[in-house]
Amino acid sequence: MKLEGFGLFVKDMGKMIRFYRDVLGFEIKEPEDTKNVYLQKDGVLFLLFGREDFEQMSGKSYDYAPKLNGHFEIALHVDNYAAVDEAYEKIVAQGGQPVMAPMTCPWGQRTCYIGDPEGNLVEIGSFQP
């Protein structure tokens, strides 16, 4: 098997599209009112599925973690430590939820975390001072 992509189940498709497209720079060519969205970042397929649509399609109900959650993270790499700090400030200024301000970890990575509009964690990091 080969990894093709990964996805999120979302409540507010328009808000999530605008965050991932306009704030984080994911590529998308679909309108904000579509039900399922295929985005791409650095050759990786990133899917946004409407929660209600998926439940209807699968015939099942699911529980979704409310607010800020720690079920998984999306990790993004930047070129150096300064870029981590810059990205954090820019994303928070554009509506990202501050979770953990940039810090340099004992293993040499500078990293930070923000939450997307529905509380999913996004890590931004670099190993290059």
Work out the pLDDT band at 77, boundaries 50, 70, 90: very high
Q: pTM of the prediction?
A: 0.88
Work out the pLDDT band at 22, boundaries 50, 70, 90: very high
- The residue with greater pLDDT, 39 or 102, is 102
Residue 33 pLDDT > 80, yes or no? no
Which pLDDT score is estimated for 99?
97
Which pLDDT score is estimated for 6?
87
Domain boundaries, the chain: 5-58, 73-126
Into which CATH architecture does domain 73-126 fall? Roll (3.10)
Provide the CATH number for the domain formed by 5-58 in this structure: 3.10.180.10
Among 73, 74, 80, 76, CA closest to 127: 80
- Do the beta carbons of residue 115 and residue 124 sit within 8 Å? no
Q: Sign of the C-alpha dihedral, residues 116, 121, 127, 129?
A: positive
DSSP 22: I
